[in-house]
Structure 1
């Protein structure tokens, strides 16, 4: 049984957000989409396994209060190692979650990185999503952040359930990174906000 989610009722204008680490280029396209080019060697990661801290990816962020959900949509066209795009939820440089699609070892991967001083990473292959529209949904309710994603109008997939302090002030929005190359361009096609998910699982 597919879970039913309340569609976000408020489209967000790109001007509603503020840039964390401005990109090389960000411009509005003829259809209202946002075209973003991140700098080479841009990424979000903190310590685990690799030993480094990267906190320089471009992200367009707006408030994500408790009781709200946000959706970010983009056209999936990633070709370089670790090219990535999706939604970032940020409290500070030590507490954040990024979720979306990343090119890893030659294959498109749907996944999330949850960081609380140290980053973790989980992925699942989605080669069939190539060249289609992906939507990432982050929903904040109580002490939890629920991350879902889908391609086109297919059913939502649960990507991650992560803790998020209900007292924390968080922002969220579209992000993209190009850790190993220059020239990546990501076309974001939508940014919406609405009420948080009412359930984690479908009712039986």
Structure 2
């Protein structure tokens, strides 16, 4: 089993991890997880105005079928505005959603969500001046819940939404740097559990 496969905390790992748009480099961290070196001006976003379409950020994903709970513990360097570590679900380039721990254009750090159905929306959540953050996406049928937690336990809902998607979709990690000259993102944990939560709003 290679280092990327060992990084995913689910049993069994039924499909391999794949880089879409590989980073400049990635390296294991001493206490687990990995650091991703992100190139300049990369993102996933389809502007509501049609002025910008970006589909080129480093994205490490695997296929997941049916209901699931995906979690990531992210520590972005926050070098530039909009830099983020994110958790993303994706059907294709026009149908996807991500929850990010992002450096906002208001000079804060926040849990930011984007849902894309041909075009993307963009919603800033709570400001969180923390060095790292846990992110979660749960799926039940075609309904998804997004959550964050400072401690990986006390989940707070960011978003509940519908996304028409096949039973099997991509689930993975995004490291973005939309307008800067590059950054790093540490992913300290990534897990996927194939189970159905009882309360999508609570994420449990």
TM-score grouping bracket, smaller chain normalisation: 0.7 to 0.9
Deviation at 1:166, TM superposition (A): 5.2
Residues 142-194 of structure 1 show CA distances to partners (whole Å, capped at 9, x for unaligned) of 12111111112462110111212353531111111001122311110011111
Give 1:84 deviation, angstroms: 1.1
Report the counterpart of residue 197 of structure 1 in structure 2: 197
Mapped partners of 1:103, 1:30: distance in 2: 26
Distance 1:39 1:69 in 2: 29
C-alpha distance in 2 between matches for 1:173 and 1:135: 14
Deviations, residues 120-144 of structure 1 (Å, cap 9, x unaligned) = 0111242332x1x311111111121
Query: Given the superposition, is the C-alpha separation of residues 152 and 77 from structure 1 closer, same or farther in structure 2, using an over 3 Å criterion?
Result: farther
Q: Could you say which residue in structure 2 is the equivalent of 1:99?
A: 99
CA distance in 1, matches of 2:185, 2:129: 18
In the alignment, structure 2 segments of 5+ residues that lack a partner are 1-7
Instruction: Give the 3 Å change call, closer, same or farther, for CA 187–9 of structure 1 in structure 2.
Output: closer
1:170 counterpart SS class? strand
The separation in 2 between residues aligned to 1:11 and 1:73, in whole angstroms, is 18
The aligned residue for residue 154 of structure 2 is 155
Q: TM-score, normalised by structure 1?
A: 0.85
Q: How does 1:177-192 map to 2 (within 5 A)?
A: 177-192=176-191
Q: Is the 8 A contact 1:66 1:166 kept in 2?
A: no
Structure 1 residue runs of 4 or more that deviate by more than 3 Å after TM superposition: none
Q: Which ranges of structure 1 fall in alignment gaps of 5 or more residues?
A: 1-7
Paired with 1:100 and 1:48, the residues of 2 have a C-alpha distance of 18
RMSD after superposition: 2.3
* Total equivalences in the alignment: 192
TM-score, structure 2 length as denominator? 0.85
- Paired residues of 2:38 and 2:183 also in contact (CA < 8 A): yes
> Corresponding residue for 1:171?
170
2:3 is aligned to none
- Specify the SS of the correspondent of 1:138: strand
User: Which residue of structure 1 lines up, in the alignment, with residue 127 of structure 2?
Assistant: 126
Relative distance call for 1:199 and 1:17 in structure 2 (3 A) is same
Mapped partners of 2:96, 2:166: distance in 1? 14
Pairing of 1:128-147 with structure 2 (within 5 A): 128-129=129-130, 131=131, 133-147=132-146
The CA distance in 2 between the partners of 1:108 and 1:16, in whole Å, is 32
Which residue in 2 is equivalent to 1:65?
A: 65
1:22-65 CA-to-partner distances (Å, cap 9, x unmatched) read 11111112222111011101011113136110000111101232
